[in-house]
Structure 1
Amino acid sequence: LIWHKNKSIALLLQKLILFFAGISWAVLIHQTPSVFVDPGDNVSLVCSHNRSDYKVMLWYRLRPKNTALDLIGYGYNEFTKDSVEQSFKESFKLEGDLKARVKKGSLVITNITAEEHTAMYYCAAREAQHSNKPTVRA
């Protein structure tokens, strides 16, 4: 949660949310604790976990008075220039290593403003989902 008070912005993070498909497993996770920044500053929020088969990392934003999460972006095995959703590209960047034994990703927020960046930020991790395309025969 980022809020503006006495020209400061406080950033409060919740625990990593894991989206599980099917059976849940114990996962050791870490996420940046509360961070205090000033308007115009940059901040890097770090998320990591040790689940080798969870190669997808997603970042979400929940704004005050909203009930829906906004997807900021995601990476599979790595973050690329296309990892951030178009509407977030101006002040958000994703970076990190999702191939290592301990998966680590950072959400970098630049030029922070209370109006734009006041929110709860969530990191999520999951397995990649694969599907085979059906074959159509005449």
Structure 2
Amino acid sequence: MRLLCILYFTGVSLGIEVHQTPSELIRKPGDRAELVCRHGETNYRVMLWYQQSAGQRNLSLIGHLNYQTINIESAFQQDFSISGDLSGETTKNGSLLVHLKDPESSGVYYCAARLARQHTPTATHNKNPK
């Protein structure tokens, strides 16, 4: 029986403390693993999830949660899901659910938080006013 290991670290993101649990998991292929990220900065309403595959140095963006909107990169859509709600003025919580299909799922997973940029419509200018 092969076991898959997921390591998950608590860290600092853009100067804020981000709490991530659990710190490590060992599962077998076919299992699911849920990773939770939490921080107390009410104006940091974007949560990003990254994977560092075993033996690799680079990070791959799995997806992000922006307020209540979820975006998962196409390469991860089949085996990963993101949930949470970053609206409101309370502690921000989000989770990543990983379906562990094979050893490639092993690795280190990171959560990061950033300020949400507010969208402001750009004014359109008529170059030939009448």
TM-score, normalised to structure 2, is 0.83
Distance 1:64 1:28, change over 3 A: closer
| Map of 1:34 onto structure 2 | 24
In structure 2, what is the equivalent of residue 110 of structure 1?
Answer: 99
> Which ranges of structure 1 fall in alignment gaps of 5 or more residues?
1-5
* Alignment pair present for 1:95 and 2:90: no
Q: Deviations over 1:20-78 (max 9, x none)?
A: 3xxx4xx3431011112111100101000010000000001112343321110001111
Q: Is the 8 A contact 1:17 1:122 kept in 2?
A: no
The one-letter code matched in structure 2 to 1:104 is N
Task: Give the whole-Å Cα distance in 1 for the aligned partners of 2:9 and 2:118.
Answer: 29
1:72 paired to 2:62:
yes
Amino acid across the alignment from 1:74: H
2:10 aligns with one of 9, 15, 26: 15
Structure of greater Rg: 2
Shift of 1:17: 4.4
Question: C-alpha root-mean-square deviation of aligned residues, in Å?
Answer: 2.0
Check whether the contact 1:44–1:108 (CA below 8 A) recurs between aligned residues.
Answer: yes
Question: Per residue, is there more strand in 1 or in 2?
Answer: 2
Supply the AA of the counterpart residue of 2:18. Answer: I
Q: Which runs of 5+ in 2 are unaligned?
A: none
Q: Specify the SS of the correspondent of 2:72.
A: coil
Alpha-carbon separation, structure 1, partners of 2:119 and 2:45: 16
Which contiguous aligned blocks of 4+ residues in structure 1 show a shift greater than 6 angstroms? none
How many angstroms apart in 1 are the aligned matches of 2:55 and 2:123?
A: 42
**Is 1:47 aligned to residue 47 of structure 2?**
no
Q: After superposing the two structures, state which structure 1 stretch, 63-72 or 32-41, moved more.
A: 63-72
Q: What is the identity percentage for the equivalent residue pairs of Structure 1 and Structure 2?
A: 32
Amino acid aligned to 1:30: H
Q: Secondary structure at the match of 1:12?
A: strand
Does the 8 Å CA contact 1:16/1:47 hold for their aligned counterparts?
A: no
Letter in structure 1 aligned against 2:41 = R
